[in-house]
């Protein structure tokens, strides 16, 4: 059995798409020895496939849209109220395709983590699988870091690497990396919730 909910720290996961890393996090938190509990999954898109996965795993879901009618500022105001209501300690971004503002980051007192598909500080931003191939590098990877106002610049909490093979494409790299992303993210979450400062390194 899991520990009493009173002893667990509360996690919220933000997604925009399929929720692959989200699913890994939820599955890990549902193990008896995990110090955290996923209270909800939230998306900025109604059509995010990850919402269906979360519901099947017994997690409540929310959608706060960001579009021509609803601004990012409106999204952040509603999200902050929800985080406070649910007493969230840790927010995990898992394929969340919006950049949170400096104001929001200052107002939320817990930690916010993100997983980025490159070995930071190299290749910040988008399309990293394509860009690493253009650099003709032999190594690729992923990084979990704390979220700060500067994009993909926060404290590095863990990294994993893969070898780039002849004939690899951006799609192949993404597929080869994803399982290691899952393993890295759940390890870092356990680490940070246990109050440990050691950087996780997975080769």
Catalytic sites, residue numbers: 116
Polymer length of the chain: 203
- Give the CA count within 13 Å in the CB-facing half-sphere of 167: 0
Question: CA–CA separation, 128 vs 124, rounded Å?
Answer: 8
Measure the CA angle with vertex 120, ends 118 and 125; round to 5°.
65
User: In Å, how far from its chain's centre is CA 17?
Assistant: 12
Inter-residue contact 53 to 23 (CB < 8 Å): yes
Backbone torsions φ then ψ of 140, nearest 5 degrees: -130, 180
């Amino acid at each position: 059995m899991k520990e009493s909910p009173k002893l667990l720290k509360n996690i919220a996961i933000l997604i925009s798409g399929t929720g692959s890393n989200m699913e890994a996090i939820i599955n890990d938190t549902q193990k008896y020895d995990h110090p955290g509990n996923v209270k909800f999954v939230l998306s900025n898109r109604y059509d995010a496939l990850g919402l269906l996965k979360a519901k099947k795993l017994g997690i409540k879901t929310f959608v706060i849209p960001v579009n021509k009618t609803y601004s990012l500022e409106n999204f952040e105001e509603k999200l902050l109220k929800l985080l406070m209501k649910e007493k969230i300690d840790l927010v995990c971004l898992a394929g969340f395709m919006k950049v949170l503002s400096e104001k929001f980051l200052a107002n939320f007192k817990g930690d916010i983590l993100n997983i980025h598909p490159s070995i930071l500080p190299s290749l910040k931003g988008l399309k990293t699988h394509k860009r690493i191939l253009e650099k003709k590098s032999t190594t690729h990877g992923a990084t979990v870091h704390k979220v700060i106002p500067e994009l993909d610049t926060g404290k590095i909490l863990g990294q994993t690497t893969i070898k780039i093979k002849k004939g690899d494409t951006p799609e192949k790299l993404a597929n080869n990396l994803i399982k290691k992303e899952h393993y890295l993210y759940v390890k870092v979450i356990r680490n940070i919730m246990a109050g440990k400062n050691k950087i996780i390194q997975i080769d």
